[in-house]
Amino acid sequence: MLDKNSKLYIPEHVGIIMDGNGRWAKKRALPRSVGHKFGAQNFRKITRYISKTGVKVLTLYAFSTENWKRPLDEVNALMKLFRQYLVDSLTDFREDDIKVVFIGDRSAFDPKLRELIEESEQVANDRKGMLLNIAMNYGSRDEILMAVKKLCKNVRDNGVDPDSLTVDDISSNLYTAGTPDPDLIIRTGGELRLSNFLLYQSAYSEFYSTETLWPDFHEEDFDKAIIEFNKRNRRFGGV
């Protein structure tokens, strides 16, 4: 098991695409909602473990802007799990000193859900440990569009010279503003794509895919990803 004293280099920021809940349930002849329930339980366990390894920022892809296209009963089950998590989050991760932030477009959620999101963030605001970004109703293209609109408004209203804009200006208007770009993106479930997750931020991230479905992704699976990450030669466009 990894810890903060490990001789391996621990990435500062890790993103995880938690994929495979539905397939995990199908393999067991269970409803997809059961897979999401087990995936939510695993989310807590893995988050606590990762916080002990020295990772400073963890971003988890929980629900994308495209996931609304799924069957209504599955979306409702996911929203129910999300609501229950928010209720639990008022005390969850307190002993671990994990700071919880939600990234994504909150306008699609009902007012009570938005209130719970804000309350859970306020409760965790003063924590000093690992930052946990939970991406809900998140889509990277929408995030980039939002940043561009903010910059255009600044050009229009404040006379900012468009030629003065830099990549840092874009970064500072993303949901992840103020945090380092991810060093490593992990995807469970065997797929080899980013699926609209942190597209701008992951320009130089290392990508690691595992066939392991999310509910079965345990501490040793995360360790394997870190070991593989340490084998990579990150040149950032250089030689």
> Annotated active-site positions, please?
19, 67
Q: Which residue has the tokens 């360790």?
A: 223
| Strand ranges, E, within 33-164 | 57-64, 99-103, 131-138
Residue 224, C-beta contacts closer than 8 angstroms, at least 6 positions apart:
210
DSSP-derived secondary structure for 69-88 = GS-HHHHHHHHHHHHHHHHH
Rg (CA), the chain: 18
Cα angle 73, 74, 75 (rounded to 5 degrees) comes to 95
Q: How far apart are CA 82 and CA 107, in angstroms?
A: 15
User: Which residue, among 85, 138, 141, has the nearest Cα to 113 in the 3D structure?
Assistant: 85
